């Protein structure tokens, strides 16, 4: 079999010669036969057939036929460019949207880390301290490597200017666990991590190596500065490895023991053994199941830390630390459903167009069937035509998808620095998806029309008569397709309506602070090696100079900013309040300078603001928000009362209004504000409220920072409304895209309706003529077709409405301020579709009403 296949393959290139030889051989045969007195024409039978059959022996018949069909179909498509253009364009939109969204599904839900056997990786639902990680890595037997991990941007410099890059703090078995090889030099091992306090060393990513050192192997052994500290470069990771997070890229891997360089803000804290900050990850030994490993790990965990009685839970780590799964997983699946529906509408629309096209070719099919073509052959030919369209649409769609992808990514990455950017590159799986999708759509929209068009009893035969039997069944099919289109469109329009209203509602929520015209500038003197005391002086200096700038209304330092990444929670004890459980006795802490509330526009309800007297040496004081007062003091005036935190007393000096600091969707939380002098000294953000355009003030602010220390990196400078906007990115993408897709679906449904009506009117032109001739008014004729349209639209809407209400339930968690079965939104959706249908109906109706009876009666 295989041999035969290869011989055929080789013969493919000598087709013409084989043909010629066969002809010659047969000619010889004929001549010899004639010489011997035989009757060649009688004895030899059908020579052409014999030649064709002989030839068929060495061809791949199916392929040959398909190519032949493809050529035929191409000619046919070229003859009707308008149809082809519409078909390919609508398919490109459908397939493109699906491919684009699928590449997000792929990147967020399907992709795995590019390391050997990622399925053996597990994560722990825990955050551990370094000591626990070390002991665990040494003693656990179920794993081939186990490490702790933490990521934070660090300032990177080779001696001159500094830039922010993504740093990963890792323990000794990190690279061993991932089974990564070095591109040059060697990678961090356990000795390096242990010795790193005296001998700091780091590993660069392949990308950073290419970008900053142009791939120079001499980088090994060189010194680089990370947050101002000198590190020796041990080596570079192999190309393609990009760290422990699926959609991010690491730039530099540092020993976990150097955490003090990365988190200088908490200089006094025992990072190594007291605080838990590392996310653990491990690789299962071959043959060990996750359940077995979990059991072993549990026992070991209790031995290492007998105080901890929590249950360990091992989770699939093949995606690494996938932060986007929870944030974008649901929206992306919702969008996938929407685009799938759009593609269905597209298919219904194309099937409709193809049916109309088949009608025009009914004659051709009848002739071919009657002279012996098989029905299967005709169906195959029509399917090949559909496949060609789908391939064209697929190619255009993939290109469209690439564009949609980069646009969406740019959208999602606004407000994120380059080192935090999300990466979603289409891969082989995405390509395979779009190819499969194209083929599936071809069958979906092509099979029904092909089946219908070649059905012998439906063909008008060779007669010219247009009132043949196929008419009713064909029209019913086209009408059903239109009904389906309208129903599906209603589902999409309703979903889009809900998501748009969510976006609108979110935009009108009172945040409790005014984010516009507030600049947030994040600068960390400690990141350039300044001591804790220097940091305080530098920040105070920056703050004072910023306040003095023209156009600045107020300025403040703060540890936490609205929608920022910093969040400090602490357990508190309020006398007179009985906590139900540990969780309910906590609050968010923020450390601020005196003008914070003035800068953000939060108002004081009771007591006083902080001032210069609240410093390191004065009694600890706090301002709390309304939520806190409701929770801990049942709404009574708390000013002057005290609560306990970390063993010390804090007196409440004032109460401020609530603010939604954790995103629009999340309500205010119990918050305690304390003077920054009484808490944190570094990791602070400078907040500046301006009178006019904030962009005009930013250069002056940067100038101040530069003048103090030019090598001090500015982590980010932006306005707070950008943060608020960025917090709504998901909702905005969902709202915009679903609206776009809803418009597309509605347009397609409109085209479908238009097509059916126009066709119906064309078929009945003579009837219209007769009606006019016997005295019908334009109104009557128009009414005839308006009724047809109305019935289709009504049936579509009646079917679509319950489907829309049921399927919208899947969106429930994504909605805000609007129910999943919101009747008002449904009403609006129905009206939108009805208007679109009206538009699609009016054009053919207008034509019907203007049929000239004299011409119409001579029709056909």
Partner 1 sequence: MGERSSPTELLPGTLDLLILRTLAPGRMHGYGIAQRLKEVSDEVLQVGESSLYPALQRLLLNGWVKAEWGVSDSNRRARYYTLTAAGCKQLAREREQFSRMIAAIHRVLEMA
- Chain residues binding partner 1 by CB under 8 A are 3-4, 7-8, 21-22, 24-26, 28-29, 31-33, 35-36, 42-47, 49-51, 53-58
In the complex with partner 1, which residue's Cβ is closer, 51 or 239? 51
Classified as helix, coil or strand, 148 is: strand
CB of 4 to partner 1, least distance (A): 5
CB of 57 to partner 1, least distance (A): 4
Name 717's bridge partners: 521
Helix axes 375-413, 324-360, angle to 10 degrees: 150
In the complex with partner 1, which residue's Cβ is closer, 36 or 860? 36
Task: Report d(CA 768, CA 787) in Å as an integer.
Answer: 15
Going by C-alpha positions, the residue among 298, 372, 350, 355 that lies closest to residue 92 is 350
CB of 473 to partner 1, least distance (A): 37
In the complex with partner 1, which residue's Cβ is closer, 33 or 639? 33
Instruction: Indicate the length of the chain as a whole number.
Output: 860
57 in the Ramachandran plot: left (φ > 0), alpha (ψ -120 to 50) or beta? Answer: alpha
In the complex with partner 1, which residue's Cβ is closer, 26 or 639? 26
Task: Report d(CA 851, CA 682) in Å as an integer.
Answer: 82
CB of 61 to partner 1, least distance (A): 13
CB of 48 to partner 1, least distance (A): 9
CB of 54 to partner 1, least distance (A): 4
Q: Is 363 exposed, middle or buried (0-12, 13-18, 19+ CB in 10 A)?
A: middle
Task: Report d(CA 498, CA 807) in Å as an integer.
Answer: 12
**Residue 200 contacts residue 232 (beta carbons within 8 Å):** yes
Going by C-alpha positions, the residue among 191, 253, 185 that lies closest to residue 222 is 185
In the complex with partner 1, which residue's Cβ is closer, 43 or 82? 43
In the complex with partner 1, which residue's Cβ is closer, 1 or 428? 1
In the complex with partner 1, which residue's Cβ is closer, 45 or 218? 45
CB of 366 to partner 1, least distance (A): 24
CB of 16 to partner 1, least distance (A): 16
159 in the Ramachandran plot: left (φ > 0), alpha (ψ -120 to 50) or beta? Answer: left
CA angle 852, 856, 859 (to 5 degrees): 150
In the complex with partner 1, which residue's Cβ is closer, 54 or 210? 54
Contacts of 212 (CB under 8 A, 6+ apart): 156, 158, 204
Positive or negative, the CA dihedral 672, 676, 679, 680 is: positive
CB of 44 to partner 1, least distance (A): 5
In the complex with partner 1, which residue's Cβ is closer, 27 or 854? 27
Task: Report d(CA 678, CA 651) in Å as an integer.
Answer: 13
CB of 120 to partner 1, least distance (A): 48
In the complex with partner 1, which residue's Cβ is closer, 47 or 722? 47
CB of 11 to partner 1, least distance (A): 8
The full 3-state SS of 61-123, as one line of letters, equals HHHHHHHHHHHHHHHHHHHCHHHHHHHHHHHHHHHHHHHHHHHHHHHHHHCCCCCCCHHHEEE
CA distances from 513 to 265, 510, 602 (A): 27, 8, 5
In the complex with partner 1, which residue's Cβ is closer, 2 or 774? 2
């Amino acid at each position: 079999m295989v041999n035969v296949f290869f011989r055929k393959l080789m013969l493919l290139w000598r087709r013409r010669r084989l043909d010629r030889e066969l002809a010659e051989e047969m000619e010889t045969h004929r001549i010899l036969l004639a010489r011997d007195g035989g009757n060649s024409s009688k004895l030899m039978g059908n020579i052409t057939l014999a030649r064709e059959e002989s030839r068929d022996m060495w061809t791949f018949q199916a392929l040959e036929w398909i190519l032949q069909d493809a050529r035929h179909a191409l000619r046919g498509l070229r003859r009707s460019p308008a149809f082809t253009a519409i078909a390919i364009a609508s398919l490109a939109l459908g397939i493109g949207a699906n491919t684009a969204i699928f590449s997000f599904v792929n990147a967020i839900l399907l992709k795995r880390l590019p390391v050997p056997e990622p399925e053996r990786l597990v994560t722990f639902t825990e955050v551990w301290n370094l000591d626990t990680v070390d002991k665990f890595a040494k003693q656990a037997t179920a794993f081939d490597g186990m490490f702790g991990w933490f990521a934070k941007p660090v300032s990177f410099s080779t001696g001159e200017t500094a830039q922010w890059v993504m740093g990963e703090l890792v323990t000794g078995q990190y690279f061993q666990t991932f089974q990564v090889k070095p591109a040059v030099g060697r990678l961090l091992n356990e000795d390096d991590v242990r010795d790193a306090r005296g001998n700091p060393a780091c590993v660069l990513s392949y990308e950073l190596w290419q970008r900053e050192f142009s791939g120079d192997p001499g980088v090994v052994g060189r010194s680089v500065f990370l947050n101002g500290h000198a590190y020796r470069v041990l080596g570079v990771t192999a190309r393609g490895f990009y760290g422990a997070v699926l959609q991010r890229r690491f730039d530099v891997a540092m020993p976990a023991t150097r955490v003090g360089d990365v988190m200088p803000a908490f200089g006094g804290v025992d990072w190594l053994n007291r605080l838990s900050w590392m996310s653990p990850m491990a690789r299962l030994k071959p043959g060990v199941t996750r359940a077995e490993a979990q059991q072993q790990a549990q026992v070991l965990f209790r031995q290492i830390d007998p105080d901890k009685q929590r249950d360990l839970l091992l989770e699939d780590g093949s995606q690494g630390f996938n932060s986007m799964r929870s944030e974008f997983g649901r929206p992306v699946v919702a969008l996938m459903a929407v685009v799938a529906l759009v593609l269905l509408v597209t298919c219904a629309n194309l099937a409709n167009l193809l049916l109309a096209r088949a009608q025009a070719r009914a004659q051709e099919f009848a002739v071919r069937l009657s002279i012996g073509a098989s029905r299967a052959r005709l169906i195959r030919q029509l399917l090949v035509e559909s496949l060609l369209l789908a391939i064209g649409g697929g190619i255009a769609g993939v290109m469209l998808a690439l564009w949609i992808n980069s646009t969406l990514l740019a959208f999602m990455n606004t407000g994120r620095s380059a080192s935090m950017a999300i990466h979603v590159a289409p891969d082989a799986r995405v390509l395979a998806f779009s190819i499969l999708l194209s083929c599936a759509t071809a069958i979906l929209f092509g099979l029904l029309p092909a089946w219908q068009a070649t059905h012998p009893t439906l063909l008008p035969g060779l007669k010219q008569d247009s009132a043949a039997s196929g008419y009713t069944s064909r029209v019913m099919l086209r009408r059903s397709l239109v009904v389906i289109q309208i129903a599906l469109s209603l589902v999409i329009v309703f979903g889009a309506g809900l998501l748009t209203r969510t976006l609108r509602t979110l935009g009108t929520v009172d945040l409790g602070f005014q984010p516009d015209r507030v600049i947030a500038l994040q600068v960390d003197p400690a990141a350039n090696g300044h001591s804790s005391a220097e940091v305080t002086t530098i920040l105070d200096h920056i703050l004072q100079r910023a306040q003095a700038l023209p156009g600045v209304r107020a300025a403040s330092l703060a540890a936490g900013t609205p929608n920022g990444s910093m969040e400090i929670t602490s357990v508190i004890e309020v006398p007179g309040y009985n906590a139900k459980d540990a969780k309910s006795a906590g609050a968010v802490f923020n450390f601020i300078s005196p003008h914070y509330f003035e800068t953000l526009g939060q108002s004081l309800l009771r007591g006083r603001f902080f001032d210069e007297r609240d410093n390191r040496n004065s009694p600890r004081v706090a301002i709390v928000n309304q939520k806190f007062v409701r929770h801990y003091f049942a709404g009574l005036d708390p000013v002057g009362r005290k609560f306990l935190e970390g063993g010390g007393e804090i007196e409440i000096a004032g109460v401020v209004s609530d603010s939604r600091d954790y995103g629009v969707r999340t309500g205010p939380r119990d918050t305690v504000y304390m003077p920054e002098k009484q808490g944190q000294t570094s990791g602070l953000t400078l907040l500046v409220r301006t009178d006019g355009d904030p962009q005009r003030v930013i250069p002056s602010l940067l100038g101040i920072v530069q003048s103090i220390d030019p090598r001090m990196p500015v982590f980010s400078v932006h306005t707070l409304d950008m943060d608020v906007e960025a917090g709504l990115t998901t909702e905005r993408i969902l709202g915009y895209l679903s609206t776009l897709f809803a418009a597309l679906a509605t347009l397609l449904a409109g085209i479908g309706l238009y097509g059916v009506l126009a066709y119906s009117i064309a078929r009945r032109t003579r009837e219209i003529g007769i009606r006019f001739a016997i005295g019908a008014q334009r109104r009557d004729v128009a009414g005839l077709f308006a009724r047809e349209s109305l019935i289709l639209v009504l049936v579509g809407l009646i079917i679509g409405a319950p489907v829309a209400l049921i399927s919208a339930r899947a969106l429930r968690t994504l909605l805000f301020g609007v129910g999943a079965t919101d009747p008002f939104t449904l009403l609006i959706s129905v009206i939108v579709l009805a208007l679109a249908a009206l538009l699609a109906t009016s054009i053919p109706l207008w034509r019907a009403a203007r049929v000239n009876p004299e011409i119409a009666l001579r029709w056909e």
